[in-house]
Amino acid sequence: MNELLALIGKESALPKVAGVLRRTVERDRPAVVGSLHATCS
């Protein structure tokens, strides 16, 4: 979870975020998973 929390508020490549999210879910097996992809210019 710490790896995922470290990404909050930082600009990261979408594949990196997806990989971290996937690893976290596979490891922790939460009952529910949600995500939000926000972009700004």
Global pTM reads 0.71
Mean pLDDT by 10-residue block, N- to C-terminus, for the chain (41 residues)? 89 91 92 82 68
What is the C-alpha separation between 7 and 21, in angstroms, rounded? 10
What is the C-alpha separation between 5 and 20, in angstroms, rounded? 10
Predicted confidence at residue 26, as pLDDT, reads 93
Predicted confidence at residue 29, as pLDDT, reads 93
Distances (CA, A) of 2 to 8, 16, 37, 39, 41: 10, 15, 19, 22, 27
Cα 27 versus chain centre, distance: 13
